[in-house]
A and B are shown apart, each in its own frame.
Chain A
Amino acid sequence: MNNSNSQTYDAIVIGGGHNGLVNANYLAKAGLNTLVLEARHLIGGAAITEELLPGYKFTTFSYALSLLRPDIVQDLDLVAHGLMVLPMPNDFHVNYGGVGLRMNADAGHNYHAVAEHSIHDAEAMDDFFHMVDRVCHAMKPLMDSIPPNTVSDAAADREYLAQFNDYLDSLDDDLKAQLERFWTGSMTEILDEYFESDFLKGYFSSSSIIGSMCSPSTPGSALVYLFHKMGEYDGEFGSWGFHKGGNGGFTQVLARAFEAKGGTIRLDSRVSHVKREGDTATGVVLEDGTEFNAKVVVSALDPKRTFMQLVDPATMPQDLIQHIEAYKFQGSAAKVNFALTDVPPFPGLEGNKSAFQGFLNIGPTLDYLETAFQDALEGRFSRRPFLDCCVQSTIDSDMTPAGKHVMSCFVMWAPYHLKDSDWDTERENLGDTVQQTIEEFFPGFSALVEHREVVTPLDIERIVGLSEGNIFAGELFSSQMFFNRPAPGWNQYRTPLAGYYQCGSGTHPGGCVIGGPGKLAAAQVLGDLEG
């Protein structure tokens, strides 16, 4: 059965996205001779930085960092390999006509900035964020451990589930109630309890729609919000940074750390399928026929590819396959990246760079967001989209030639399935819409554009391999989180094939540049190897 030319490793990781690299790092650290196979000419997956125009570095896909589990930085000694997360000192939430809200690191300043819109909301902000912090703190141990298997009857699994229930029981009652609301509710329902200003609610709700086919009023959006607040920047929940050189700079750090541990990365190596002997995985075969053997094979791809492409779905339990078929991808995000001759001109703040050192939030009110979402429900991209923008060059001057800027714009909603058109037709129309939308808030913006790159959900699927372009490798809705990510009973990184594991964003805790799936999957692999 073994090809005589094939090479043997202790472990093979399929896919050199950040989760594959994190996973491979832990395996290599434990002493396994580990091979990462990446289909593309560069590692990083959705976390790459590309110089598409000489001197301009674009974070083609993902652009900011927060959720990365802090333990990973320590466990893998990433600082020694160049980890540098530059903090984002400001947020800028804009409305039409030169109205804006600038938030920064000073709570006193923020109180007064918000009070200009509503003193009621300025007071509420403290209570709201403290509540969110407490919920995040309660959730943190769950983010950082393998979730219980609710299906198994094995004594050890029952016991582990009981421990989990005991933990939830031990939380303060008010926390339990809040957790429940975040798990199932909508973001507007929570915001309405605290805030009155539509402009502020627009700002605070932006994290509840990122990458997801839901508006702030859709039940489930509160969990999307909470997930995005689970990130920590130096112990502060919900704060974000830019990695030096973009998120591609971060995955380069992971690659260096892996190679320093003796690991091997093979680029341009698209895996066709997993080899097996009976019910045991024995290695992989590349599309060009090259074979590699290993007793551990980890898929860092999304669940659809893990269970329906890398292995023959007919050989998998049919209830699992049914879950994977029902698992929602329905990508709804796009990206437009600009090369600019200056920072965007905001009325009254022309030429002010510091306003752009964080997220620039274009989604002024709840109404604006609901209208934008309605377009998506009707099968077209938003005519006035929500935009989460960053001008990374205001923080990292190496991203551009002197005096120039790059602006990354994350776009909601751009549904993968268009009703009356297709994405190859609509690509530049989307680019025009985004540019026009920015122009409405930043008059004169278009004149600064030197170059524009549009990334549709179809591009995300084609280039990165994220099914239907879902940026998280599957929606972050409670029906496919925790116990159920990606399927009940298969939420502990194992698969029905012995020696074959999963560690992509479609496993717990989920998407984002977070590393949790890669880390926890490695713990499972190493535990199994120990017996």
Chain B
Amino acid sequence: MNQPEIWHHWSGYLAAPRYQYSVLAEYYAVRDGVAVFDTSPLFKYRISGADAEAFLAKLFARDIRTCAVGQSQYTIWCNEKGFVLEDGVVMRVAENEYLLTAARPNLRHFRLHQGDFDVSIEDVSKAYGILAVQGSKSGLTLGKLTDAVSDLPYFGVTNTSLAGADVIVGRMGFTGSQGYEIWIKAEDALPVFDAIFAVGDDYNIVPLGEDALMLLRIEAGLLLIDVDFDSARHAWVDAQRETPLELGWKWMLRNLDQDDRDFVGRSAIEAEIANKTSRWKTVGLQIDYYDFERVHRELGIMPPKDSMLAQETHSLYDADRNYLGYATSVMYSPLLKKHIAIAKLPLDKCKRGTEVYLEIVPIHKPALVKANVVKMPFYNKTNE
């Protein structure tokens, strides 16, 4: 199934950068078809017990109490100083039971905040596999195996059975296209995988590798830990730490004035809002097509459009060459036919349309190309 036979390790599991020779073929399988990403290497936690809701209301910055049974939330957790530790998706599978995914191990952190709450916090990483069935035809594909997904709302969660196995399906994903994530008991994972591929063949289903997922999630405006931000946990100085506001997640704290939760980081975040002390904001950036062409043409070379630019960080300047901030996740969007990026800019440079200059290094020499602040996500068809 893995044609180039390249594997690497992801928290103890094998993961593939791509399964076909063409990353773009996998990318388009999601934008116009269906593909399956093996999300099993994520850390998985079950939080259950009489105080589960109260505990998570303290742990998470986003208000878990608005998440009913059969729903899920994209959420974050912070430290006491209001810096983001991590993000993840939490599903409420029963009145007193939640399932959570996270990129890094968090058991110790969660237990540190357990206090007197009547909850059990278990690592269930090994007990489940997770398949992310993503793509504009993902609903059609799963619809051939179960009736449960047809009217599942975005971020809805349901129990169903696939190929005879009991699974939990949430309508969610990391791609910006329609998608579902399926929690499968480890021992049932293979037959469920085979069943999905059998019905998906009508839509040319393929396995999805990490390279294509990277492109998809950037277009979807979804930040990635260690790429677009660092966890406050292992940072050395505050310059490396970021707050929810700085990461563009103020929407998660929308109704702060109406909720009385004493969540971790609350007072620091409230002070940041009141005193307007955010240092920057995370915004979308679109690189000017014509300027990018011009810079390369003047050097006599073709402008690179192979998806990810090699550099991790690109500096941003104003027209007078004053340093403003930086961009991460700079990529050529195969669908939008433009280079895009995720940028950190001072608050007065975040308005849509603001012109900034991105530093690139064609033929080893810095050059500036025009870019504009744009709405993020760059692409969003999660609800179609």
Closest to B203 in A: A397
Q: Could you tell me which residues of chain A, from 216 to 270, have a CB within 8 Å of some CB in chain B?
A: 234-237, 244
B337 touches A83 (CB 8 A): yes
Least CB separation from B34: chain A residue: A397
Against B, the Cβ 8 Å flags (1 = close, 0 = not) of A377-401 are: 0000000000000000011110000
A105 to B338, CA, bound (A): 21
Q: Is the CB of A357 within 8 A of B137?
A: no
* Contact pattern, B 165-179, Cβ under 8 Å of A = 1, otherwise 0: 000000000000000
A84-B31, A353-B204, A395-B204 in contact; A234/B332 too (CB < 8 A)? yes
Q: Is the CB of A234 within 8 A of B305?
A: yes
Asked if residues A235 and B306 are in contact (CB atoms below 8 Å), the reply is: yes
Q: Which of A78-105 contact B (CB under 8 A)?
A: 79, 83-84, 86-87, 89-90, 104-105
Q: Which segment of B17-25, B71-79, B108-116, B312-320 sits at the interface?
A: B17-25
Contact A89 B290 (CB under 8 A): no
**Which residues of the partner chain A approach B204 to less than 8 Å between Cβ atoms?**
353, 394-395, 397
Q: Contact check, A357 vs B335: say whether CB atoms are below 8 A apart.
A: no
Cβ B304 vs Cβ A89 within 8 A: no
Residue pair B28, A87 in contact (C-beta under 8 Å) = yes
B325 adjacent to chain A (CB < 8 Å):
no
B299-317 residues with Cβ-Cβ distance < 8 A to A are: 300, 302-306
A353-B204, A403-B202 given as contacts; is B32 within 8 A of A244 (CB)?
Answer: yes
CB-CB under 8 A from A322, the residues of chain B are none
Question: Min CB distance, A168 to chain B, in Å?
Answer: 15
* CB of A419 within 8 Å of the partner chain: no
Residue of B nearest to A354 (CB): B20
A70 on interface, CB distance cutoff 8 Å: yes
- Do B337 and A89 have beta carbons less than 8 Å apart? no
The CA-CA distance from A337 to B33 in the complex, in Å, is 24
CA separation between A256 and B201, bound complex, in Å? 32
Given A105-B22, A397-B137, A403-B201, the answer on whether A234 and B306 have CB atoms closer than 8 Å is: yes
Tell me the complex Cα distance, A354–B205, Å: 11
Inter-chain contact A87/B337, CB cutoff 8 Å? no
A234 touches B334 (CB 8 A): yes
Whether a CB of chain B sits under 8 angstroms from the CB of A402 is yes
Nearest opposing residue in chain A for B296, CB measure: A235
- Give per-residue flags for B283-308: 1 if the beta carbon is below 8 A from chain A beta carbons, else 0: 00000011000000000101111100
Is B4 positioned at the interface, with any CB of A under 8 Å from its CB? Answer: yes
B337 A73 Cβ-Cβ under 8 A: yes
Q: B336 at the A/B interface (Cβ < 8 Å)?
A: yes
Question: Interface residues of B: mostly helix, strand, loop or mixed?
Answer: loop
**Smallest CB–CB gap between A277 and chain B, Å?**
40
A396 to B240, CA, bound (A): 44
What interface size band does chain B fall in? 20 to 34
With the chains together, A487 CA to B219 CA distance in Å? Answer: 47
**Cα distance A133–B302 when bound, in Å?**
9
Query: Nearest Cβ distance between residue A109 and chain B, in whole angstroms?
Result: 6
Q: Determine if A74 is an interface residue (Cβ-Cβ < 8 Å).
A: yes
Question: A244 contacts which chain B residues (CB < 8 A)?
Answer: 32
With A354-B20, A397-B33 in contact, is A89–B25 under 8 Å at CB? yes
Answer whether residue A106 sits at the interface, using C-beta atoms and an 8 A cutoff: yes
B290: contacting residue among A74, A84, A236, CB under 8 A? A74
List chain A residues, Cβ under 8 A from B289: 74
B335 touches A235 (CB 8 A): no
- How many residues in A have their beta carbons less than 8 Å from beta carbons of B? 30
Inter-chain contact B305/A89, CB cutoff 8 Å: no
Q: Is A451 an interface residue (CB 8 A)?
A: no
Q: Choose from A86, A105, A394, A402 the contact partner of B28 (Cβ within 8 Å).
A: A86
A137 close to chain B: CB less than 8 A: yes
Q: Which of A87, A235, A397 contacts B25 (CB 8 A)?
A: A87
Verify B21–A89 contact, CB threshold 8 A.
yes
Residues in B whose Cβ lies below 8 Å from that of A402? 202
A105 with B24: CB separation less than 8 A: yes
Chain B residues, CB < 8 A from A357: 25
Chain A nearest Cβ from B75, distance in angstroms: 32
Known: A137-B302, A394-B204, A402-B202. A106 touches B4 (CB 8 A): yes
A239 to chain B, nearest CB (A): 10
A87: chain B residues at CB < 8 Å are 22, 24-25, 28, 334
A28-81 interface (Cβ within 8 A of B) = 70, 73-74, 79
| Complex-state Cα separation, A146 to B133, whole angstroms | 49
Whether B335 contacts A79 by the Cβ 8 Å rule is yes
Q: Does B303 contact A235, Cβ atoms closer than 8 Å?
A: yes
A105 with B336, Cβ < 8 A, contacts A235-B304, A397-B33, A397-B203 known: no
Interchain CA distance A98-B342 in the complex, whole Å: 49
Which residue of B4, B23, B32, B300 is within 8 Å of A396 (Cβ)? Answer: B32
Interface residues of B in 257-305 (CB under 8 A from A): 289-290, 300, 302-305
* Residue contact A104 to B302, C-beta cutoff 8 Å: no
Complex CA–CA separation, A100 to B32 (angstroms): 29
Q: Which residues of B contact A109 (CB under 8 A)?
A: 4, 21
In the complex, A70 Cα to B290 Cα: how many Å? 11
How far is the CB of B378 from the nearest CB of chain A, in Å? 11
Q: Are A236 and B337 in contact (CB under 8 A)?
A: no
Question: Does the CB pair A74–B32 fall under 8 Å?
Answer: no
Contact A89 B32 (CB under 8 A): no
Interface string of A489-509 (1 = CB under 8 A from B): 000000000000000000000
Residue of chain B at shortest CB distance from A74: B289
Q: How far is the CA of A105 from the CA of B332 in the complex (A)?
A: 17
Asked if B202 contacts A89 (CB within 8 A), the reply is no
0 or 1 for each of A344-382: is its CB under 8 Å from B? (1 = yes): 000000000110010000000000000000000000000
Smallest CB-CB separation from B200: which chain A residue? A397
Q: Which of B24-52 contact A (CB under 8 A)?
A: 24-25, 28, 31-33
A397 in contact with B334 (CB, 8 Å): no
Residues of A within 8 A of B4 (CB): 106, 109
Q: Kindly provide the distance from the CB of B106 to the nearest chain A CB, expressed in whole angstroms.
A: 38
Q: With A84-B31, A235-B304, A236-B305 as given contacts, are A104 and B22 in contact (CB-CB < 8 Å)?
A: yes
Q: How far is the CA of A133 from the CA of B301 in the complex (A)?
A: 10
Interface centre among B204, B289, B335, by most chain A C-beta atoms within 10 angstroms, is B204
Rounded to whole Å, the gap between the CB of B142 and the closest CB of chain A is 15
Contact between B24 and A89 (Cβ–Cβ < 8 Å)?
yes
Residue of A nearest to B23 (CB): A105
Tell me the complex Cα distance, A301–B203, Å: 38
* B25, B203, B336: residue with the most chain A Cβ atoms closer than 10 Å: B25
A79 touches B337 (CB 8 A): yes
Which residues of the partner chain B approach A84 to less than 8 Å between Cβ atoms? 31-32, 335
User: If A83-B337, A87-B28, A105-B21 touch, does A397 touch B305 (CB 8 Å cutoff)?
Assistant: no
**Nearest Cβ on chain A to B72's Cβ, whole angstroms:** 29
Min CB distance A393 to B, Å, is 8
A79/B201 contact (C-beta < 8 A), A89-B24, A244-B32 known: no
User: Can you spell out 28 A-B residue pairs with CB atoms less than 8 angstroms apart?
Assistant: A73-B337, A74-B337, A74-B338, A79-B336, A79-B337, A83-B337, A84-B335, A86-B32, A87-B28, A87-B334, A89-B20, A104-B22, A105-B21, A105-B25, A106-B4, A137-B300, A234-B337, A235-B302, A235-B303, A235-B304, A235-B332, A236-B305, A244-B32, A357-B25, A394-B204, A395-B28, A402-B202, A403-B201
Interfacial residues, chain A to chain B (CB-CB below 8 A): 70, 73-74, 79, 83-84, 86-87, 89-90, 104-106, 109, 133, 137, 234-237, 244, 353-354, 357, 394-397, 402-403
| 9 A-B pairs with least C-beta separation | A235-B305, A89-B22, A402-B202, A105-B22, A104-B21, A89-B25, A234-B305, A106-B21, A87-B24
10 new A-B contacts, CB < 8 A, other than A73-B337, A79-B335, are: A70-B337, A86-B32, A90-B22, A133-B302, A234-B334, A235-B304, A236-B306, A244-B32, A395-B28, A395-B204
